[in-house]
């Protein structure tokens, strides 16, 4: 192997690793706030990438229609549960305009935009924004409909809910986008050279985006009251409730963030890798492997682990491409060995 | 007694008799095949019931274990022409070894590693099957011979159906037997944390590995049957998707219930079969509609029945029969007890430091047999830390901790319990779904005739009935001793708090202790309950028991104890009889503030 191949492999590894890092961040966030193992994370990756691809091809993305349907269901569930109790019934009338605006009017407006505007002519940042506007609201809506009624159930039940959501979303993905995979257009055609080795502008943009996003997330958790409320919920749900943090709000917010991160990862990865309706799952699972490095609790170690996963993947695809996935997922055994030798903590409550 | 046991077994026996007779009754071959698959799934799901439903350990890797069982026999029988029975043994050995390896890596560290690592495990094994030349890559292995016993060959669908369901029955009986044993009760407690079982002498990490291995072996056996039913294997049915499906069966059927495994497996196999057949006709073939409908139906189902189906059926039709015990069970062997007045616990200059913080600062006191010693002090005085030093939850930094002449320093809480020191918990730690009798029997974990940690095989084979009779007899004796003899069959969760605390004492008594450690036994109790507790402790003292209690309730302590140790800021400030303590200046200052 000469140095130029080495440089390409490292560049590839770091770029995909950075995307895995974002995903692992979202998984850790959702798990610690809601105890949900978020299997559908990968579907947001696919939805983000495929929605953008449709927009770039000048087609109205079918996800806009899905958003409309999901909004209507969420509104019905919200109203239905409010009608059950006398106190909430009285307040429903006041809440209704906002609920209708966010769950019906806004999706309708987005849908109208996708139908009546020449999407291909939009500037790329606007196209990306539109894709995110379509996909991200699905996160909190799915939380409201599928998870919130079961928020107090066991991790196992929440996991099976995740499975149901995952299956439905993969099926819907096939229905909306068909079995074919696509790429999206690269953000830039620029090429740099660093010493002897070429560096694609695309990779640089991905890295900058990921770094910026991680910085934003860091500031959000460290400096804002909402971020602190989420952290409090992760540490102690009951305690957070007692000091007035709404568990449901925290859940919705964490799902919105996870959906946003997922969709953005799809958009970042789609120029390199062909994405189809079901490829998000494996991508997100590699984020899982990264998250295990951090023991599902530490964000920086999870991020570092994900970058290593990206590097391992890129090198093993060069040396033993048939065994690429095998190697990536087997790496976990030495990690666990290391974890079990270094941690002596026995948890009090399982 | 005999009539009752046979009555307990009557319904299941009838059910299985009908199921086994179905092919003879003219069940169409399509259904025989479908039910064969139900049987295969249910064997795997049974292991998951034990692992996930009962013990609360989530594994996505069961399909991979099925794969190991299937590929092992496929490879050995086609490449080397070996008998399927050798394939079975090799498959069991291989699944057990790999489960042991993964279990040892993940079970000793906290909670969520197992589910995540089994995801990775399931995926990597799937890719391994699909890429190995010797296993036929993604095409798999064909031409696997049929299983035969002598000249009887299980070649056709109906005979394999019988074999599969026979194995399922054996697996079900073994799991039921196991859950109804000394180790099984400990497994049922795992879901609620490891501190209580450890304090009763259970090596929880080892027990978790044992059930993980057993669940994997069941999966491996199912894989063996699958390979010889299909006479071909390929990687697809051993992927992560199927690993998740097995969990799904368990949750839909009812996670903590063995019959839920069969119900869930049956429901899922039949439902997915018909969804695949009917939905494309109804909705068209443009998309993967069965996945969409299935996913949405699953979410809706869980909103209405997140416990699964079996508990609902049971609540509607079933009733729990009271447990009958042989009246003549001989008592368990007891350790020799100290003479009244003998010093049994000596704490000398005990010290505990957390970094720079001295939580217990060279505290000394002793406890005699037939004496109740109270450990009191304001909040943050170091009482609980002292208590945790004696129970082995925390390790001592320096100083001496002697029990009947032997040092306790460095021992784990399960070793300490086996020496005759039993404890209760400040926040009651019972297994709510288990009966009062079974909860009390947890205390006698180390007193069975099988080796302290063994007896797993004996319990699977139900060879442990004598041990069970001894242990449950002891539990009943202790419950009668504390006055809960009428409530033995009630679930522990249905008791009032006062009764639950008394039950914790009965459980502790089952450990055959000479020293009882009680952590705030009167907290949260009503006056009557406190009086009953005081009367019980007084009675135990009369029988020669030594008691050390941490307590905030001054009336309770002053009326009951013989000797009081007062701590403040980690240091012992006074010690003496209740009368002396009540007028001790240092104590008055600590509690009421000094009069400057």
Interface test with B, best of A144, A171, A312 (most B CBs within 10 A): A171
Contact between chains at B120 and A288 (C-beta distance less than 8 A) = yes
Does the CB of A278 have a partner CB in chain B at under 8 Å?
Answer: no
The candidate with the shortest Cα–Cα distance to B511, out of B188, B204, B197, B184, is: B197
**Residue B98 zone, left/alpha/beta (φ > 0; ψ -120 to 50; rest):** alpha
Residue B368, CA distances (Å) to B338, B373, B383, B385 in order: 9, 9, 19, 21
Which tens digit of pLDDT belongs to each residue from B271-310?
Answer: 888 877 777 666 666 556 777 888 888 888 888 887 888 8
Contacts of residue B190 in chain A, CB cutoff 8 Å? 350
Angle at CA of residue A153, ends A149 and A159, nearest 5°:
95
Residue A203, CA distances (Å) to A21, A192, A200, A262, B298 in order: 15, 10, 5, 18, 40
- Residues 97-156, chain A, touching B (beta carbon < 8 A): 145-146, 149-150, 153-156
Contacts of residue A35 in chain B, CB cutoff 8 Å? none
Distance from CA of A60 to the nearest CA of B (A): 19
* pLDDT reported for residue B174: 93
Among candidates B52, B190, B298 on the partner chain, residue whose Cβ is nearest the Cβ of A350: B190
Give the H or E element holding residue B351: strand B343-354
Contact between chains at A347 and B294 (C-beta distance less than 8 A) = no
DSSP state of B296: H
3-state secondary structure of B374: strand
CB pairs under 8 A between A and B: 153
Q: Find the Cα–Cα–Cα–Cα dihedral A205, A209, A210, A215, rounded to 10°.
A: 140
CA distance B366 to A13: 64
Copy the structure tokens of residue B571. Answer: 């240091």
- Residues 422-481, chain B, touching A (beta carbon < 8 A): none
Interface test with A, best of B99, B306, B414 (most A CBs within 10 A): B306
Angle at CA of residue B406, ends B405 and B408, nearest 5°:
130
Q: Which residues of chain A have pLDDT under 70?
A: 1, 196, 294-298, 340-350
Nearest chain A residue to B429, by CA: A349
Strands (E), B143-270: 147-149, 152-154, 232-233
Does the CB of A58 have a partner CB in chain B at under 8 Å?
Answer: no
Contacts of residue A157 in chain B, CB cutoff 8 Å? 251, 302, 306
Residue appearing with tokens 């990264």: A290
* pLDDT reported for residue B318: 62
CA distance B331 to B472: 10
Which tens digit of pLDDT belongs to each residue from B561-571?
Answer: 999 999 988 88
Copy the structure tokens of residue B403. Answer: 């029990």
Contacts of residue A322 in chain B, CB cutoff 8 Å? 131
CA distance A111 to A119: 12
CA distance A97 to B455: 65
Does the CB of A69 have a partner CB in chain B at under 8 Å?
Answer: no
SS3 sequence of chain A: CCHHHHHHHHHHHHHHHHHHHHHHHHHHHHHHHHCCCCCCHHHHHHHHHHHHHHHHCCCCCHHHHHHHHHHHHHHHHHHHHHHHCHHHHHHHHHHHHHHHHHHHHHHHHHHHHHHHCCHHHCCHHHHHHHHHHHHCCHHHHHHHHHHHHHCCCCHHHHHHHHHHHHHHHHHHHHHHHCCCCECCCCCCCCEEEECCEEEEHHHHHHHHHHHHHHHHHHHHHHHCHHHHHHHHHHHCHHHHHHCCCCHHHHHHHHHHHHHHHHHHHHHHHCCCCCECCCCHHHHHHHHHHHHHHCCCCCHHHHHHHHHHHHHHHHHHHHHCHHHHHHHHHHCHHHHHHHHHHHCCCCCCCC
Copy the structure tokens of residue A234. Answer: 């992760």
Contact between chains at B292 and A167 (C-beta distance less than 8 A) = yes
DSSP state of B491: B
**Between B309-317 and B240-253, two packed helices, what is the crossing angle to 10 degrees?**
20
Does the CB of A65 have a partner CB in chain B at under 8 Å?
Answer: no
CB A87: neighbour CB atoms within 10 A? Answer: 8
Contact between chains at B302 and A157 (C-beta distance less than 8 A) = yes
Residue B186, C-beta contacts closer than 8 angstroms, at least 6 positions apart:
B197, B200, B202, B204, B207, B442, B445
Q: Which residues of chain B have pLDDT under 50?
A: 1-6, 596
Distance from CA of B200 to the nearest CA of A (A): 15
Distance from CA of A174 to the nearest CA of B (A): 6
- Residues 278-297, chain B, touching A (beta carbon < 8 A): 286-292, 294-297
Q: Find the Cα–Cα–Cα–Cα dihedral B121, B126, B132, B134, rounded to 10°.
A: 100
CB B199: neighbour CB atoms within 10 A? Answer: 28
Residue B393, C-beta contacts closer than 8 angstroms, at least 6 positions apart:
B195, B413
* pLDDT reported for residue B9: 74
Copy the structure tokens of residue B53. Answer: 């439903």
* pLDDT reported for residue A129: 94
CA distance A54 to B194: 52
Angle at CA of residue A195, ends A189 and A196, nearest 5°:
75
Which tens digit of pLDDT belongs to each residue from A255-284?
Answer: 999 999 999 999 998 988 889 888 888 888
Interface test with B, best of A20, A296, A298, A336 (most B CBs within 10 A): A336
Contacts of residue B119 in chain A, CB cutoff 8 Å? 285, 288
* pLDDT reported for residue A70: 94
3-state secondary structure of B444: helix
Q: Which residues pair with B547 in a beta bridge?
A: B372, B516
Contacts of residue B120 in chain A, CB cutoff 8 Å? 285, 288-289, 292, 329-330, 332
- Cβ atoms of residues A137 and A48 within 8 Å: no
Contact between chains at A146 and B299 (C-beta distance less than 8 A) = yes
Contacts of residue B290 in chain A, CB cutoff 8 Å? 171
Residue A43, C-beta contacts closer than 8 angstroms, at least 6 positions apart:
A166, A169, A170, A173, A262, A280, A281
Contacts of residue B271 in chain A, CB cutoff 8 Å? none
Nearest chain B residue to A149, by CA: B303
* pLDDT reported for residue A294: 65
Distance from CA of B134 to the nearest CA of A (A): 15
Copy the structure tokens of residue A158. Answer: 């929440």
Among candidates A159, A168, A339 on the partner chain, residue whose Cβ is nearest the Cβ of B296: A168
User: What one-character-per-residue DSSP string does B85-105 give?
Assistant: HHHHHHHHHHHHHHHHHHHHH
* pLDDT reported for residue B20: 85
Relative to beta strand B406-407, strand B398-403 is antiparallel
* pLDDT reported for residue B112: 64
Compute the radius of gyration of chain B from its Cα atoms.
29
Distance from CA of B14 to the nearest CA of A (A): 32
- Cβ atoms of residues B37 and B163 within 8 Å: no
Contacts of residue B244 in chain A, CB cutoff 8 Å? 163
DSSP state of B339: P
């Amino acid at each position: 192997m000469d140095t130029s191949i080495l440089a390409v492999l490292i560049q590839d590894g770091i770029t995909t690793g950075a995307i895995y890092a974002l995903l692992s961040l979202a998984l850790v966030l959702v798990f610690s706030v809601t105890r949900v193992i978020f299997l559908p994370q990968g579907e947001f990756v696919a939805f983000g990438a495929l929605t953008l691809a449709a927009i770039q091809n000048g087609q109205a993305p079918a996800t806009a229609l899905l958003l409309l349907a999901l909004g209507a269901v969420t509104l019905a569930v919200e109203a239905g549960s409010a009608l059950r109790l006398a106190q909430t019934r009285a307040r429903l009338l006041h809440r209704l305009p906002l609920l209708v605006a966010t769950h019906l009017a806004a999706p309708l407006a987005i849908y109208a935009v996708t139908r009546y505007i020449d999407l291909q002519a939009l500037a790329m940042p606007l196209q990306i924004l539109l894709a995110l506007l379509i996909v991200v609201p699905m996160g909190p809506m799915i939380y409201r409909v599928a998870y919130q009624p079961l928020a107090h159930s066991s991790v196992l039940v929440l996991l099976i809910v995740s499975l149901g959501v995952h299956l439905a979303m993969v099926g819907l993905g096939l229905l909306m986008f068909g079995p074919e995979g696509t790429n999206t257009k690269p953000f830039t055609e620029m090429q740099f050279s660093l010493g002897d080795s070429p560096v694609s502008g695309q990779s640089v943009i991905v890295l900058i985006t990921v770094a910026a996003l991680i910085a934003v997330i860091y500031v959000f958790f460290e400096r804002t009251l909402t971020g602190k409320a989420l952290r409090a919920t992760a540490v102690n749900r009951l305690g957070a409730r007692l000091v007035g943090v709404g568990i449901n709000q925290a859940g919705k917010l964490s799902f919105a963030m996870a959906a946003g991160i997922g969709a953005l990862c799809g958009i970042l990865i789609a120029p390199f890798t062909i994405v189809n309706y079901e490829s998000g799952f494996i991508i997100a699972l590699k984020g899982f492997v990264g998250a295990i490095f951090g023991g599902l609790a530490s964000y920086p170690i999870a991020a570092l682990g994900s970058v290593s996963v990206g590097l391992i993947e890129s090198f093993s695809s060069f040396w033993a491409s048939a065994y690429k996935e095998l190697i990536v997922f087997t790496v976990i055994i030495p990690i666990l060995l290391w974890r079990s030798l270094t941690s002596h903590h026995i948890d009090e409550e399982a | 007694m005999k009539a009752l046991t046979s009555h307990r077994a009557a319904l299941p026996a009838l059910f299985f008799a009908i199921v086994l007779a179905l092919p003879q009754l003219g069940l169409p071959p399509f259904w025989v095949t479908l039910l064969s698959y139900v049987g295969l799934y249910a064997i795997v799901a049974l292991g998951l019931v034990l692992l996930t439903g009962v013990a609360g350990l989530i594994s996505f890797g069961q399909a991979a274990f099925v794969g190991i069982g299937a590929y092992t026999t496929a490879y050995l029988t086609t490449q080397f022409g070996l008998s399927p029975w050798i394939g079975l043994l090799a498959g069991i050995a291989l699944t057990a070894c790999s489960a042991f390896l993964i279990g040892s890596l993940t079970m000793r560290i906290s909670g969520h590693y197992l589910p995540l690592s089994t995801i990775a495990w399931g995926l990597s094994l799937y890719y391994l099957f699909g890429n190995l030349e010797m296993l036929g890559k993604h095409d798999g292995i064909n031409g696997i011979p049929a299983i035969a016993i002598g000249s009887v060959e299980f070649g056709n669908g109906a005979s394999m159906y019988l074999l599969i369901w026979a194995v399922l029955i054996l697996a079900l009986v073994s799991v039921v037997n196991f859950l109804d044993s000394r180790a099984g009760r400990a497994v049922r407690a795992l879901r609620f944390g490891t501190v209580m079982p450890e304090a009763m002498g259970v090596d929880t990490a080892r027990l978790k590995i044992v059930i993980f291995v057993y669940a994997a072996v069941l999966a491996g056996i199912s894989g063996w049957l699958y390979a010889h039913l299909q006479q071909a294997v390929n990687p697809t049915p051993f992927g992560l998707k199927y690993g998740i499906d097995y969990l799904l069966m368990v949750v839909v059927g009812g996670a903590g219930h063995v019959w839920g495994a069969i119900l869930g497996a049956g429901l899922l196999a039949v439902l997915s079969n018909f969804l695949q057949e009917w939905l494309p006709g109804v909705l068209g073939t443009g998309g993967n509609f069965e996945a969409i409908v299935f996913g949405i139906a699953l979410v809706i189902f869980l909103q209405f029945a997140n416990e699964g189906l079996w508990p609902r059926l049971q609540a509607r039709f079933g009733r729990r029969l009271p447990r009958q015990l042989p009246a003549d069970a001989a008592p368990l062997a007891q350790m020799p007890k100290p003479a009244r007045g003998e010093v049994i616990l000596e704490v000398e200059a005990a010290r505990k430091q957390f970094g720079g913080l001295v939580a217990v600062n060279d505290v000394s006191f002793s406890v005699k047999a037939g004496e109740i010693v109270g450990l009191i002090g304001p909040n943050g005085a170091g009482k609980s830390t002292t208590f945790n030093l004696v129970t082995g939850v925390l390790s001592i930094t320096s100083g001496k901790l002697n029990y009947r002449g032997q040092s306790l320093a460095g021992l784990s809480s399960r070793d300490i319990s086996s020496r005759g020191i039993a404890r209760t918990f400040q926040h009651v730690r019972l297994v709510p779904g288990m009966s009062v009798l079974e909860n009390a029997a947890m205390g006698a974990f180390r007193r069975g005739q099988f080796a302290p940690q063994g007896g797993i095989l004996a319990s699977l084979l139900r060879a442990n009935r004598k041990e069970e009779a001894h242990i449950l007899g002891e539990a009943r004796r202790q419950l009668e001793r504390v006055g809960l003899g009428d409530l033995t069959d009630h679930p522990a969760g249905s008791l009032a708090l006062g009764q639950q605390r008394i039950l914790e004492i009965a459980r502790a008594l089952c450990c055959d202790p000479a020293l009882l450690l009680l952590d705030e036994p009167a907290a949260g109790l009503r006056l009557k309950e406190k009086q009953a507790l005081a009367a019980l402790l007084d009675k135990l003292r009369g029988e020669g028991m030594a008691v050390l209690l941490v307590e905030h309730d001054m009336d309770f302590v002053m009326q009951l104890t013989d000797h009081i140790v007062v701590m403040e800021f980690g240091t012992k400030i006074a010690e003496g009889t209740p009368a002396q303590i009540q007028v001790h200046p240092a104590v008055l200052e600590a509690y009421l503030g000094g009069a400057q």
